[in-house]
């Protein structure tokens, strides 16, 4: 595996994260101390949150599809089940279109923003609100170039999106601000450019006109005996969509996306200090599993993906006392996403989620196949992180303030 392929993999995310944790356990990190003994209490909290959220023990995967369920009603299923799809692949392409656009629009909302859901007449914030806003835009044909076929996202339409389009779709105004709006619009425009058939080596016009859903056809074609590895989904997401991310670190001319430098992580492989995390790409990969399954494919080794390096999981470990700031004043400062403190925090989060998963499986007597990390995240660690956040801060904000451009968190 060459250096670029390695860094664009879940394996690299996991290995580098555990290297960071090893330094933390040896008390050799500049920004955080690790109190690993506090992880037992976190496991208790996650199990309690999971049992209350899913009393029947049937915990689904952590994915975008959970956010489309409001008040027990699956909003997407209510739309999709009324459509006379020509075949399973056509529905899968639409679901890929929806998942890809919705995830790219979900990079944190800030504490103030709310979406007015007309169906329930409620105002919903954060990821759930972003999900509904993007679903409503998708269902209305906001991303489609064909008025007779609204449930799609077309390259041509994505490239033409404006900030005003998202302001209207997300109900943004002076009294309802949404952080990183320009960054989100730029991501979707770049998505349209990548999916455009004139781009080099484009796979997207394979079975249909150019659309993100063409990734389904590519993955289906590469499946062996109808089976595909979860980490192969991430590799395709990173390879096909890598050019949409803002240029940060380049290696051999390839953008490494959500990959950063940390001075405490030297290695002997020529990739010193590089810490890949790929949060949004992994979140998207988790969200593509169910459309693949509905189309009849078997996705194997779900734990080939890692935990997500975002502020709910990361906040769980800070608010729960596992991660302690060396300088308490850092809690009151705003930090850039590429700062060593944030990179350290996010990498530690990934490794600690693996440790947490082991504890939870031991306590429940389940294997990794029975209780993959995707279920623990959903059950789970994300909800427990939110619960602690609201217990400690009235607005439920994370314990650290991150300067976001809408393309990382």
Letter string b/e over residues 310-332, b meaning 16 or more CB atoms within 10 A of that residue's CB: bbbbbbbbbbbebbebeeeebee
Residues 6+ apart with CB under 8 A from 285: 230, 233, 234, 237, 305
Mean pLDDT of 300-309: 95
Q: Which residue's entry shows tokens 């953008």?
A: 255
**Which neighbouring-strand residues pair with 73?**
70
* Cβ–Cβ < 8 Å for 137, 108: no
CA distance 142 to 152: 9
Reply yes or no on whether the pLDDT at 208 is more than 80: no
Do the Cβ atoms of 203 and 214 come closer than 8 Å? yes
What are residue 255's DSSP bridge partners?
250
Q: What is the pLDDT of residue 205?
A: 60
Please answer whether residues 300 and 229 qualify as being in contact, where contact means their C-beta atoms are separated by less than 8 angstroms. Answer: yes
Give tens-digit pLDDT for 94-110.
Answer: 999 999 999 988 866 67
Cβ contacts of 200 within 8 Å, gap of 6 or more: none
110, burial (CB in 10 Å: exposed 0-12, middle 13-18, buried 19+): middle
Share of the chain above pLDDT 90, in %: 75
Q: How confident is the model at residue 198 (pLDDT cuts 50, 70, 90)?
A: low
Residues 56-101 have pLDDT tens digits of 989 999 999 999 998 889 999 999 999 999 999 999 999 999 999 9
What pLDDT score was predicted for residue 255? 85
Q: pLDDT digits over 360-395, tens only?
A: 999 999 999 999 999 999 999 999 999 999 999 998
Q: Write down the pLDDT at residue 10.
A: 96
pLDDT of residue 406: 61
Q: Do the beta carbons of residue 108 and residue 170 sit within 8 Å?
A: no
Q: Is the peptide bond before 135 cis (omega within 30 degrees of 0)?
A: no
Q: Which contiguous run of DSSP H or E holds residue 403? A: strand 401-403
Query: Which pLDDT score, from 0 to 100, does residue 245 have?
Result: 79
The pLDDT value given to residue 165: 95
10-60 confidence digits (pLDDT tens): 999 999 999 999 999 999 999 999 999 999 999 999 999 999 999 998 999
């Amino acid at each position: 595996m060459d250096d670029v392929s390695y860094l664009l993999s879940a394996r690299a995310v996991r290995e580098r994260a555990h290297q960071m944790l090893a330094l933390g356990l040896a008390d050799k990190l500049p920004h955080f101390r690790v109190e690993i003994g506090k992880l037992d209490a976190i496991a208790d909290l996650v199990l309690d949150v999971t049992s209350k959220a899913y009393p029947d023990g049937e915990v689904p995967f952590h994915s975008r599809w959970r956010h489309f369920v409001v008040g027990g009603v699956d909003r997407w299923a209510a739309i999709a089940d009324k459509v006379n799809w020509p075949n399973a692949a056509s529905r899968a392409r639409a679901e890929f279109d929806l998942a890809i656009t919705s995830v790219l629009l979900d990079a944190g909302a800030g504490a103030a923003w709310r979406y007015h859901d007309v169906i329930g007449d409620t105002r919903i914030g954060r990821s759930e609100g972003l999900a509904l806003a993007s679903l409503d835009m998708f269902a209305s044909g906001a991303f489609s170039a064909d008025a007779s076929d609204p449930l799609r996202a077309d390259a041509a339409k994505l490239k033409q999106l404006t900030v005003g389009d998202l302001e209207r779709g997300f109900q943004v105004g002076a009294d309802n601000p949404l952080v990183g709006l320009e960054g989100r619009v730029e991501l979707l425009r770049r998505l349209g450019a990548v999916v455009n058939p004139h781009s080099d080596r484009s796979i997207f016009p394979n079975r249909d006109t150019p659309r993100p859903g063409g990734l389904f056809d590519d993955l289906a074609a590469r499946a062996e005996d109808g089976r595909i590895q979860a980490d192969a989904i991430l590799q395709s997401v990173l390879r096909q969509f890598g050019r949409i991310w803002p240029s940060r670190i380049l290696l051999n001319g390839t953008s490494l996306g959500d990959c950063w430098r940390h001075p405490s992580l030297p290695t002997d492989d020529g990739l010193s200090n590089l810490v890949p995390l790929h949060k949004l790409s992994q979140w998207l990969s988790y969200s593509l599993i169910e459309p693949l399954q509905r189309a009849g494919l078997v996705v194997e080794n779900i734990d080939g993906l890692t935990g997500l390096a975002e502020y709910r999981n990361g906040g769980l470990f800070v608010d729960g006392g596992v991660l302690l700031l060396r300088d308490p004043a850092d809690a009151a400062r705003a930090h850039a996403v590429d700062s060593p403190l944030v990179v350290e925090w996010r990498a530690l989060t990934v490794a600690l989620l693996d440790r947490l998963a082991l504890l939870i499986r031991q306590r429940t007597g389940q294997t990794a196949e029975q209780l993959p990390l995707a279920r623990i995240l959903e059950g789970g660690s994300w909800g427990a992180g939110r619960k602690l956040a609201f217990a400690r801060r009235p607005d439920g904000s994370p314990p650290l303030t991150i300067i976001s451009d809408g393309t990382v968190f």
